[in-house]
Amino acid sequence: MATIEELRQQYEGLEDQFEVGPESAIDSSCLLTFDYEYRGQDSEIVVDTDEFTAVCPWNGLPDFGTVTVTYVPDRSCIELKSLKYYLMSYRSVGIVQEHAANRILNDLVESCRPVRMRVALDYKPRGGLHTTVTIDYPQT
């Protein structure tokens, strides 16, 4: 089994053919929230977009997918336009699929502190393989 570092070495130089940005380009500071006036009610909010994209950190090839965020707010809700800008900040970032879903969840939980949240990242097949990554807060 190869480590992430070993895989990076195997693909060294290929990423120069494509723009592969660092994870530091992900802009969680653009996430905005607004006060939720119905605290204590178990309202479930579902937001999805099929326009998510990032790139493979080793070869620069694009990954496209659908992000679905399902959450029960506590004191605040995520402002949707800011969520769109946040997700757009991934478009040239080299990040593996499994890490992208976890990063999205962590950033969203940090911004709105929900009662619970689920992020599902359903990628379009690449190389004949279909991947869906789902992560929950709090972990079940």
Q: Which residues are catalytic?
A: 56, 63
Helix, strand, coil distribution of the chain in percent, nearest 5: 30, 35, 35
Tokens of 119: 């992020």
Tokens 């070495």 map to which residue? 9
In angstroms, the CA 131 to CA 121 distance is: 8
What is the phi/psi pair of residue 88, to 5°?
-65, -25
What is the phi/psi pair of residue 126, to 5°?
-140, 130
In angstroms, the CA 47 to CA 38 distance is: 18
